[in-house]
Amino acid sequence: MVLSFFKKGESPLDRISHETVLMLGDARHSFDLASTALLAGADASAVSSDIRATDDRINAAEQRLRSELVVHIAVHGGDDIGVVMGYTLLLKKIERIGDQAKNILDLAEDGISLSGAPDIEDFLTRRQTISQMYVDAADILVSLDVDSARQFLDRSMEMNRECEQKIHDYMRSDEPGHWAVPRAVLHRYWKRIVANLAGIVTSAIEPIQSLDYTDDGSTDIVDD
């Protein structure tokens, strides 16, 4: 271990970036498992331990990477302060996305199952789109491509508008509560996940002072 001091390795910030992408991969894994339990009828208790273990891994990675960011500043001084603060926000957003996958699992563990529901195709399509957004967000974190990020943000705004409309419709639905409420809650979780993914992508291309704020100064994070 001490001899590794003499070996040239990956740059610490590159390593943090790499680990951030892995965390996003873990968050997607949790999301897919939780969604499978709710939408495809998988046994919630069977996926629960995997999701919680993945969440623990995300939380541990967040703590470790935060420490490493402090070390980076201690060694390099203020040169990378903007990047370090950006990563701090980004890590928190990934950790929240991990928690939101657990929220979806909670629905399944409460006995809610939407598999076989007449509107399941709509749910599965949206779930697939969101799952792909994790991959796209990770790609943007690696490439830092501004055009791809702008397209991603447009798609996320569109997705959030659709989720908001759905929530609005369920709230006013004539269907019984046990039908409308799980659907409204699921769309709320999706909306939160997409907003946090958008926040992650924004942190890759925007300066630190404007993260989570729109041009007119209002917050663009609807909730945590």
C-alpha 75/C-alpha 69 separation (Å) is 10
Of 152, 4, 10, 35, which is closest to residue 97 (Cα–Cα)?
Answer: 35
Q: Is residue 164 part of the contact set for another protein (CB under 8 A)?
A: no
Quick check: 93 and 108 in contact, CB under 8 A? no
Residue 129's SS3 state is: helix
Stretch that binds another protein, among 8-16, 27-35, 114-122, 175-183 (CB under 8 A): 8-16
Q: Is residue 66 part of the contact set for another protein (CB under 8 A)?
A: yes
Stretch that binds another protein, among 5-13, 42-50, 101-109, 110-118 (CB under 8 A): 5-13
Which CB sits closer to another protein, 71 or 171? Answer: 71
Q: Is residue 76 part of the contact set for another protein (CB under 8 A)?
A: yes
C-alpha 209/C-alpha 217 separation (Å) is 11
Q: Which one among 23, 90, 97, 112 touches another protein, defined by CB under 8 A?
A: 90
Q: Is residue 118 part of the contact set for another protein (CB under 8 A)?
A: no
The DSSP code for 213 is B
At residue 200's C-alpha, the angle toward residues 18 and 185, to 5°, is 125
Stretch that binds another protein, among 23-31, 81-89, 115-123, 126-134 (CB under 8 A): 81-89
Q: Is residue 141 part of the contact set for another protein (CB under 8 A)?
A: yes
Q: Is residue 71 part of the contact set for another protein (CB under 8 A)?
A: yes
Q: Is residue 97 part of the contact set for another protein (CB under 8 A)?
A: no
Residue identified by tokens 């680990």 is 19
C-alpha 178/C-alpha 153 separation (Å) is 33
What does the per-residue mask of binding to another protein show for 184-213, with x meaning CB under 8 A? Answer: -------------------xx---------
- 221, burial (CB in 10 Å: exposed 0-12, middle 13-18, buried 19+): middle
Q: Enumerate binding residues for another protein (CB under 8 A).
A: 1-2, 4-6, 8-9, 11-12, 17, 64, 66-68, 70-76, 79-80, 82-83, 86-87, 90, 141, 144, 203-204
